[in-house]
Amino acid sequence: MSLLITEECIACDACIDECPNEAIEADDPIYMIDPDKCTECIEEGGEPSCVPACPVDCIIPDPDNVENAKELKLKAKHINKED
């Protein structure tokens, strides 16, 4: 599952450098997560590193992009190959 950023985002920039996959983009008025790049940090142990960085708790699971652990690991492998 990818995560998404809700409209509560205050565009503070705190999350962007936390993402190992460069999935977070600074957009206007709120930041965005690219569902093709978000692996839910499965490769880092499955704890999304962007979530604790957010001061307003506006990064949540995206119900339109649900994936199981196997799919997330495959996505992570694919992303790392492109690096």
Angle at 72 between CA 20 and CA 53, to 5 degrees: 35
* 39 vs 67 by CB, closer to ligand SF4: 39
Q: Are 41 and 47 in contact (CB under 8 A)?
A: yes
Q: Are 44 and 20 in contact (CB under 8 A)?
A: yes
Closest approach of ligand SF4 to the CB of residue 80, in Å: 12
State which amino acid sits at residue 80.
Answer: N
Closest approach of ligand SF4 to the CB of residue 57, in Å: 8
Cα separation of 18 and 16, whole Å? Answer: 5
Q: Which residues bind ligand SF4 (CB under 6 A)?
A: 3, 5, 9-15, 18-19, 21, 23-24, 31, 33, 38-41, 48-50, 53-54, 56, 58-59
Closest approach of ligand SF4 to the CB of residue 6, in Å: 8
